[in-house]
Amino acid sequence: GAGVSQTPSNKVTEKGKYVELRCDPISGHTALYWYRQSLGQGPEFLIYFQGTGAADDSGLPNDRFFAVRPEGSVSTLKIQRTERGDSAVYLCASSLDGRANEQFFGPGTRLTVL
Amino acid sequence: GNSVTQMEGPVTLSEEAFLTINCTYTATGYPSLFWYVQYPGEGLQLLLKATKADDKGSNKGFEATYRKETTSFHLEKGSVQVSDSAVYFCALRGPLYSGGGADGLTFGKGTHLIIQP
């Protein structure tokens, strides 16, 4: 079956603009995670959804970052008033039903803020 | 908080050489430990894992043993191949009973492995 997919694969925007990044998890996976990977670093946890609700958003860096998963499947990561420091690869992962299960990662969206 | 430290790369080896990539961690309690691999042009894939002390994870000829006494999870392979060239990430996840911030994985910075024929 299909793996985790993310769109767009690349996004270039200007400082101050608003962006949305989309994640389609593996069908049937109730847990969904967002990570951010800066150049030369490992992925950094942002937020975890169990179903429709954000079970843990402690990794979101500030209130410019927000994520939703209204129907418990597709998730959108939203970044307001983008800054150059937001440039990174944003990774999405899903797992069958939460923390005890393997996380499957998508290919990522490379965000560049000019 | 949780943290993972792994040896910096790039690590360059000849084919059939023995590989060790060091990984140590800081965490409360008994976390689960993982090695992920990212091949060129591909997404992160789970390579192996261990969920309790003294467990050994293994896959594709790679092994790592969860050492609580040294807080380590070093990755080893007896004879590497060119196809093993990739970036390797050590990661941990907090124990199931721990609270906020423990649901996601905590990753090291990654080690770029280059195998020359």
- Amino acid identity of residue A75, one-letter, is S
- Torsion-angle region of B79 (φ positive above 0: left; ψ -120 to 50: alpha; else: beta): beta
Q: Which residues pair with B72 in a beta bridge?
A: B24, B67
Whether B97 has a pLDDT exceeding 90, the answer reads no
Length of chain A measured in residues: 114
pLDDT of residue A99: 67
Q: In the 8-state DSSP scheme, what is residue A15?
A: T
Distance (Å, whole) CA A106 – CA A110: 12
CB of B117 within 8 Å of a chain A CB? The answer is no
CB of B103 within 8 Å of a chain A CB? The answer is yes
Q: Determine the number of helices (DSSP H) and then strands (DSSP E) in chain B.
A: 0, 12
pLDDT tens digit at each of 114 positions of chain A: 589 999 999 999 999 999 999 999 999 999 999 999 999 899 999 999 999 999 889 899 999 999 999 999 999 999 999 999 999 999 999 999 876 678 999 999 999 999
CB B89 within 8 A of CB B38: yes
Are the beta carbons of B104 and A102 separated by less than 8 Å? no
CB of B45 within 8 Å of a chain A CB? The answer is yes
Residue B1's pLDDT band (cuts 50, 70, 90): confident
Q: In the 8-state DSSP scheme, what is residue A52?
A: T
Which residues of A fall within a CB distance of 8 Å from B107?
42-44
Distance (Å, whole) CA A53 – CA A75: 11
Q: Is A86 helix (H, G, I), strand (E, B) or coil?
A: helix
Report CA dihedral (A74, A46, B70, B29) to the nearest 10 degrees. Answer: -80
